[in-house]
Structure 1
């Protein structure tokens, strides 16, 4: 670890620490939002599933805005700091369980803050390295592991507090951690300057920025509030934005010459794998938590585990496999061997194929009451973590490897819009797996096991087909990476 700190540019390690703390609100909402809405805020189960999926999808949609606005009308570091402050405020509002307006406003503020920050953090990290710096992949892998260490801590915390229905305490703790992250970002501010962006070269010298920047934040807040209150519009908007941006980027690629055109097309192809990861993330916050609650024994070795706590095992998988992945990358770098992102993504998809088959297997060997051993979703989530870290850590580093600096914010944003589409799909599937029951007491294991089997077998087949397509195209895509090394 000491060697890692010495070899990395100044500011990288500080960003790993900030990453851990900055995810407190997001991680706790992943673990608790669905049950908080249905158990404390008066939403039906279908409404909670739909709003949860819409909430996280809108969060990723605003990642696109963060990528498009950051580096142009905001510095990445300034926008990230603003996002942390907004999240800290939002968690206090969400903690008011019987105040519908406060919860909705809090969710809108949180989406605005969290939605804008991930693109910024990735871009700050990207800009600390030259385009051909082999340390970038290792830094992103470690950062992804740090992110999931933060998730693990928050999942364990939220799982413990969920057992006592102490939702508001969890939200207040998240707010406090976000305040600490804000202070650390201020301290690290000088290390993460924008490089060669429109903001640093042009816009930072214009006085009009003092009017434009707050206006954009206010518009984003209004936009988020409207879509939180009308989640059905949010779904249509996200899907529309995805296809519009995809068409625009394909046209942009076709206008380029030679190798850069190929690099853009390879990025678009590989970024699609992130939609599967996003779908699984969305399933964790809804369908998988519902499965743990209504279709499993909820105990292991006599210990009762809440759905939020069970989610932490996915993060354990990410951390363990993330460490292994970082070591593999380091060894290959030492041997001057190329690390092909295509290989990592294919390997991650194979992990997903195996993981998706775990639930149907558990249902197949369940007893007459249909209840499944809790070890089944735990094993599934551990394997999912192994797939996620190989796909997401790779995708996050693709922008810096393949895309020119002037386009990096836009392509980072596109990646998150594609992720939003995956999360949206998970909401529909979550409602499918509970038979669209409005009330939780009507959900039974025997009534839903076949629905879960249908879903996960179908996902396994689809993911296997996608992995096969990538495999047969990998040689051609790897030639593009060879030209970028």
Structure 2
């Protein structure tokens, strides 16, 4: 099956186009649940705001935390293709259970949905990265396009969720979420042969070992659902568990890197670890969007724009639109600049992303300083903030996925892809802690809370800029670590 990596120089390997559309529809269901969970729990099931937001934190932590295990399970037991489709089936079942609109159904539905969404996201990225040789620069463009597809799915999901939430018709909303999941399954089945794994440890197993691993993988899926169902009821424990697990995985990767040979691959793994620390800072600030930053938008931003009242959750579509439009444009722009001799590589892009997220935070104190007499901040400032944050996301997220194929040895690609995605889960928990530093809006006014917000945003912005400067200083070292390895055939 090695022929899939030998596409024409200006073409794309077989399966890349299918994965773009699969990404759109697979994301739609997640977007619906992500944007609806808190409202559904409070308005229909009678949860308090605190209970609902805590559950939302657990939802994010589990979703990103399972990405790590997804890379291992797909590469060694079920295959990335099989695990992806089985995960989508679990998401369909989870949404159907959620549509029953009961508290018990909420926990079981979330357990099934999280098992599916948490495991299969890594599978999409692994299926895509395998279609390119390590030295193939088209991988970056493919991941930028795929990232745009993911955000297009978010846009469709957020828009549909907003429509159904106006009437609180949650049963129809959850059934709408299954449409995207089903379409992703159909496309996967139609392109089944082309999406097969190319280079994973599972392919080296004998027929008897293959069958045994498949059975073990299926048993793991079945057991994960009730396990997550139990852990969902212990939300306070979950955040601490994700952070401890993240630290343990990072230390294990450090130990693996120290022992790994050949030296050239070891150097690339070391570069991966340095970049992972920088990405943690970025994602911690980025994950404030549905937490502390959303509260700031709801209470301190003037949401009346040209006579139209903008719902706080719709503000997130600024990010979605920038990604959808900017992803392909950035891919073309990078290609043109490189053809002209510019050196735009992974270390430079990561450092730039930290400066962008820092600017996204620092414009908010400026907006607060220029606020009106009532303390309400003009809508344009949150738009500018999201623009900077979104550009930063484009520089680090799809680039981060694409670099796994460049930096990770073949036998560690699945695990290192999962670890990379797990960073976002740890960052979500840390973002929750940072949100706790922000002012309490209940019974207060923008004039009273603005100074507190301005102080926190300034600290975060300048902190990100400082880490970005450090990454900038490390660029020569990172380039040396990344480029010393010879090109593999």
Shorter-chain TM band: over 0.9
Superposition deviation, residue 375 in structure 1: 2.7
**Counterpart position of 1:480:** 481
Equivalent of 1:220 in 224, 228, 242: 224
Counting only pairs closer than 5 Å after superposition, residues 131-210 of structure 1 correspond to structure 2 as 131-202=134-205, 205-206=208-209, 207-210=211-214
Counting only pairs closer than 5 Å after superposition, residues 394-409 of structure 1 correspond to structure 2 as 394-409=399-414
User: 1-side partners of 2:481 and 2:413: how far apart?
Assistant: 18
Instruction: Say how many residue pairs are matched.
Output: 478
Residues 332 and 74 of structure 1: CA distance in aligned 2, closer, same or farther (over 3 Å): farther
Q: Give the 3-state SS of the residue equivalent to 1:376 in structure 2.
A: helix
Q: Answer whether contact 2:267 2:482 (CA < 8 A) is retained.
A: no
Moved more, 474-483 or 111-120: 474-483
**Tell me, which stretches of 5 or more residues in structure 1 are unaligned?**
none
Residues 152 and 133 of structure 1: CA distance in aligned 2, closer, same or farther (over 3 Å): same
Residues 443 and 70 of structure 1: CA distance in aligned 2, closer, same or farther (over 3 Å): farther
**Counterpart position of 1:430:** 435
TM-superposition CA deviations, 1:223-253 (whole Å, max 9, x none): 3212211111211211111111111111111
User: 2-side partners of 1:376 and 1:168: how far apart?
Assistant: 36
Residues 338 and 218 of structure 1: CA distance in aligned 2, closer, same or farther (over 3 Å): same
Equivalent of 1:80 in 74, 79, 84: 84
**Counterpart position of 1:129:** 132
The answer on 1:102 being equivalent to 2:142 is: no
The answer on 1:360 being equivalent to 2:365 is: yes
**Counterpart position of 1:463:** 464
Superposition deviation, residue 6 in structure 1: 6.7
Q: Which of structure 1's runs of 4+ aligned residues deviate more than 6 A?
A: 3-6
Q: Give the 3-state SS of the residue equivalent to 2:288 in structure 1.
A: helix
**Counterpart position of 1:66:** 70
User: 2-side partners of 1:5 and 1:57: how far apart?
Assistant: 40
Q: Give the 3-state SS of the residue equivalent to 1:42 in structure 2.
A: coil
**Counterpart position of 2:384:** 379
Residues 165 and 358 of structure 1: CA distance in aligned 2, closer, same or farther (over 3 Å): farther
**Counterpart position of 2:4:** none
Q: Answer whether contact 1:16 1:146 (CA < 8 A) is retained.
A: yes
Counting only pairs closer than 5 Å after superposition, residues 285-434 of structure 1 correspond to structure 2 as 285-332=290-337, 334=339, 339-433=344-438
Superposition deviation, residue 277 in structure 1: 4.1
User: 2-side partners of 1:204 and 1:149: how far apart?
Assistant: 40
**Counterpart position of 2:16:** 12
Superposition deviation, residue 469 in structure 1: 0.8
Superposition deviation, residue 454 in structure 1: 2.8
TM-superposition CA deviations, 1:404-442 (whole Å, max 9, x none): 11011111111122211101112233344353x8xxx64
Equivalent of 1:113 in 102, 112, 116: 116
Q: Answer whether contact 1:31 1:311 (CA < 8 A) is retained.
A: no
Moved more, 71-80 or 213-222: 213-222
Moved more, 282-291 or 114-123: 282-291
Q: Answer whether contact 2:130 2:199 (CA < 8 A) is retained.
A: no
Q: Give the 3-state SS of the residue equivalent to 2:198 in structure 1.
A: coil
Q: Answer whether contact 1:66 1:116 (CA < 8 A) is retained.
A: yes
User: 2-side partners of 1:463 and 1:350: how far apart?
Assistant: 7
Q: Answer whether contact 2:270 2:481 (CA < 8 A) is retained.
A: no
Q: Give the 3-state SS of the residue equivalent to 1:71 in structure 2.
A: helix
Q: Answer whether contact 2:319 2:390 (CA < 8 A) is retained.
A: yes
**Counterpart position of 1:445:** 446
Q: Answer whether contact 2:68 2:422 (CA < 8 A) is retained.
A: yes
Q: Give the 3-state SS of the residue equivalent to 1:357 in structure 2.
A: helix
Q: Answer whether contact 1:50 1:428 (CA < 8 A) is retained.
A: no
**Counterpart position of 2:264:** 259
TM-superposition CA deviations, 1:337-366 (whole Å, max 9, x none): 654111111111111111111222222222
Residues 210 and 481 of structure 1: CA distance in aligned 2, closer, same or farther (over 3 Å): closer
Cα root mean square deviation, aligned: 2.3
Superposition deviation, residue 184 in structure 1: 0.7
User: 1-side partners of 2:95 and 2:439: how far apart?
Assistant: 29
User: 2-side partners of 1:405 and 1:336: how far apart?
Assistant: 30
Q: Answer whether contact 1:254 1:261 (CA < 8 A) is retained.
A: yes
Q: Give the 3-state SS of the residue equivalent to 1:283 in structure 2.
A: coil
Superposition deviation, residue 447 in structure 1: 4.8
Equivalent of 1:45 in 49, 52, 57: 49
Q: Give the 3-state SS of the residue equivalent to 1:208 in structure 2.
A: helix
Superposition deviation, residue 446 in structure 1: 4.1
User: 2-side partners of 1:349 and 1:425: how far apart?
Assistant: 17
Instruction: Output the TM-score relative to the length of structure 1.
Output: 0.92
Equivalent of 2:97 in 86, 93, 99: 93
User: 1-side partners of 2:51 and 2:407: how far apart?
Assistant: 41
